[in-house]
């Protein structure tokens, strides 16, 4: 279904993992894609080729979303190239795990910069062009960790919980402009991020997940695609869990 034909989507961290799956799902619905990434050019180019094979326009944009200047330049370039941004998926995120007493201020600030302040600042800049359009979709990729916490991830949990609060607040502020703001909260998904998790811990995740396995990026992407489509027009400020039943809230 080409429900997003003529729409332009910016996906942060759209070059691999969950972000790549989101980019591909939006392209399948007909959207043109601006793929943001941090520095892995090859993976970003590979993703753009996969997107173009689906018959949409796609280009890659390197920018550290924690850096305001890089964000502004990226968004200006996307608008110069595509004309407008109708859909923003704030997906890029990092982990720097340590128990809180061992956590350094450096990794605390690093994770807050990329996972919380970065998405807020990207959204702030994108909204300037999106509000006059009278239609828009903003989706934040949060995490089950922002809902229930996780040992060794206080910095990460704060950012993901913060994104949920931000989603609900921004949804109220821009609803009358035709823009919906929602979040998707994945559980444990098979990507490069979770490949670093020890097998014993993953076994525990499987044991605590009613569906009994980790999720796939494509399963997260489907929820995002729905929230970006015209079919979700009366849903805003909502969090959709994609976690195999690990947390039902
Ligand atoms: P991933 O495989 O590690 O991919 C991360 C993506 O983000 C890459 O495209 C990377 O670009 C980009 N990125 C990293 N830092 C960036 C920065 N400072 N500026 C711009 N782009 C940056 O991650 P993932 O597992 O797909 O996770 C995607 C999102 O889902 C994250 O927000 C994560 O917290 C969330 N999430 C993941 C899981 C899970 O189990 N995997 C569960 C819940 C939530 P480069 O390739 O250039 O480095």
Q: How far is the CA of 96 from the centre of ligand 1 (A)?
A: 12
Contact, 86 vs 130, CB < 8 A?
yes
Nearest protein CA to atom 32 of ligand 1, as residue: 93
Contact, 59 vs 35, CB < 8 A?
yes
pLDDT surpassing 80 at residue 217: yes
pLDDT above 70: percentage of residues in the chain:
100
The whole-number average pLDDT for the span 109-125 is: 98
Tens of pLDDT, residue by residue over 161-177, are: 999 999 999 999 999 99
Closest CA to 93 of 45, 37, 139: 37
Position with higher pLDDT, 1 vs 40? 40
Average pLDDT along the chain: 97
pLDDT surpassing 90 at residue 2: no
Q: How far is the CA of 176 from the centre of ligand 1 (A)?
A: 31
Q: What's the CA gap between 151 and 47, in Å, rounded?
A: 33
Walk across the sheet containing 136-141 and list its strands: 58-62, 32-37, 8-11, 87-90, 136-141, 179-186, 239-242
For residue 196, name the pLDDT band (cuts at 50, 70, 90): confident
Tens of pLDDT, residue by residue over 19-77, are: 999 999 999 999 999 999 999 999 999 999 999 999 999 999 999 999 999 999 999 99
Task: Among 39, 62, 75, 93, name the best residue to mutate to test ligand 1's pocket (greatest count of ligand atoms within 8 A of Cβ).
Answer: 93
pLDDT surpassing 80 at residue 236: yes
Q: What residues are paired with 47 via a beta bridge? A: none
């Amino acid at each position: 279904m080409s429900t997003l034909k003529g729409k332009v989507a910016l996906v942060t961290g759209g070059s691999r993992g969950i972000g790549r799956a989101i980019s591909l799902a939006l392209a399948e619905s007909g959207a043109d894609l601006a793929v943001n990434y941090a520095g892995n050019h090859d993976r970003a180019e590979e993703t753009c080729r996969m997107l173009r094979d689906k018959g949409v326009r796609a280009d890659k944009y390197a920018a550290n979303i924690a850096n305001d200047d890089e964000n502004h330049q990226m968004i200006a370039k996307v608008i110069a190239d595509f004309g407008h941004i109708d859909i923003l998926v704030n997906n890029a995120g990092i982990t720097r795990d340590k128990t809180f007493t061992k956590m350094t201020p450096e990794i605390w600030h690093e994770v807050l910069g990329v996972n919380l302040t970065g998405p807020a600042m990207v959204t702030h800049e994108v909204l300037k062009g999106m509000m006059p359009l009278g239609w828009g979709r903003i989706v934040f990729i949060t995490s089950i960790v922002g809902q229930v916490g996780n040992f060794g991830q206080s910095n990460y949990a704060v950012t993901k919980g913060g994104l949920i609060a931000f989603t609900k607040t921004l949804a109220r502020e821009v609803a009358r402009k035709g823009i919906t703001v929602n979040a998707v909260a994945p559980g444990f998904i098979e990507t490069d991020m979770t490949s670093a998790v020890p097998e014993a811990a993953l076994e525990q995740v499987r044991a605590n997940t009613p569906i009994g396995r980790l999720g796939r990026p494509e399963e997260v992407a489907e929820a995002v695609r729905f929230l970006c489509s015209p079919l979700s027009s009366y849903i805003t400020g909502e969090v959709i869990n994609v976690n195999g039943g690990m947390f039902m809230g």
